[in-house]
Structure 1
Amino acid sequence: MAQTHLIVGAGNMGGALLSSWVGDSLVNPRNLVILDPKPGSEAVYLIERGARHIEDADDIPKSVRVVLLAIKPQLFTGLSRKLAAALPAEPLIISIMAGTATDTLARAFPDAIIVRAMPNTPAAVGRGITAYAAGDSLSEEQAKLCEALLGANGEVIRVADDRAIDAVTAISGSGPAYIFHLCEALTDAAMQVGFDAKTAAQLARATLTGSSALLEASERSATELREAVTSPGGTTQAALDVLMADGALINLMRQTVQAAFDRAQELSG
């Protein structure tokens, strides 16, 4: 069976994508080549079921047609030349490396079809959202393939260009950290009003996960759901008077996303 799909870097995100590809029957394990000196547990599981494991780019088979770059960006410079020399002509390269611009990828792989994508960590539980950008050279068939592969772990959208990918990085890419910090803050506030750390964490976590599930299940907007919880003159209104005073939370989130966006553009350079 031809080995047609190469993944370079099979850690947390790469491994999660691989597992979904195989779990959704998008790729047979025997079609996979995994280039990683220390593959993660999900990749090891697939290697045991027929995926080929290699540690040197020189061993990449010429049958490879699709490449997923999932290594840390700082490793790319040292590896890109060997990869370019080893890959067959005109591969489809999907990069999920943060901060590595399309132009950088195109210079490293001048005859490749380049797709730059930004997933997020909820992909590990099949609840991610991934945005991707590609030039006009990406055919309709290739776009469908990309969307199938990237959408195996959740939702997928196509955006215009690198700038939009940087914006996605600031919103959904970094966004889980904002949500986790909100959970930390709510836990701290629960402790302030008298709960022990374990109970405070349980209350905060269940509130966030339950509210997220309700938001997903409901046809109502976030604004409508917020208003449904808020009785005039009640406890929620008292709390929102603090959060919404002079657009406090909205302004803070705008500053947060802008800072991440600016840094993403600096890294993409």
Structure 2
Amino acid sequence: MDDTPRINLDVPRYDQSQFIGRLRHFFGITDWRLCFKTDRELEEVKELLERYRHGQEPPGTTEEKIWYAKRAYESAFHPDTGDKQNVIGRMCFQVPGGMILTGAMLTFYKSTSAVVFWQWANQSFNALVNFTNRNAKSPLSETQLAVAYVSATGAALATALGLKSFLAGRASTLLQVDACESGVGAVLLQIGNKELQPVAYFSAKFQPHQRAYSTIEKEALALVLALEHFDVYVGQTSQVVTVYSDHNPLVYLQAMKNHNTRLMRWTLRLQPYNFKIQYIAGKENVLADSLSRV
């Protein structure tokens, strides 16, 4: 390495005046694989960089090895203090940490307690990342840190709960279902511009043994299959989904005392869903009826 220019360890590897350079630098410091570096490996790259600064690196050390050591070092040690950072607060933990929290917030939002918990967890994670990567040359008092944390967390909770309440009172999700001799059909609708707007469609054929079911069993099966098919829309909502069926006995499915084991089993499968069933005339259930015959 004596015949090649020395690497300046105090500047990024890629040109930061160019977008592609900034992008490559960002990908480097957020590489999630660096989260799994052991303390021993991190101390080794730190030592290698120190020796390189003094021109004492081991013989045969390549430039690529130095660049990798620099990237690994910067992923775990604070640039101002040189202290090793906690794993969760490191920039390389942003991808796995963000994926876990984002997935949880998108999945568990049905109840107010779930919204509160995951918003608090998300803001606490952000606060930890910001604190871990803070500018240590401009120290903050414990009071300033506490005020910033409470303000950020409180604002996020107020926004999330406010939007949840606002949207719940304005969106209306409707589901029309129907069953015929050979299959089931369903259409998911929402009210937009004071009119019913279709969102998604569902159609399926009965299996040979299902065609022998009674009418109430076929209609109940149609309801089960439709709700499970549209689970991404109706499975995690605090809003009551209105289900329309032209089979009047289905309206009493949730209240009736079933001695039919098949209906009892399907009723249990429906328990996670927040819905109510309303009867409509067959002539008003044209979409679902048509889909059941496709």
Q: TM-score range by the shorter chain?
A: under 0.3
Structure with higher Rg: it is: 2
- Pick the structure with more helix per residue: 1
The TM-score with structure 2 as length reference comes to 0.24
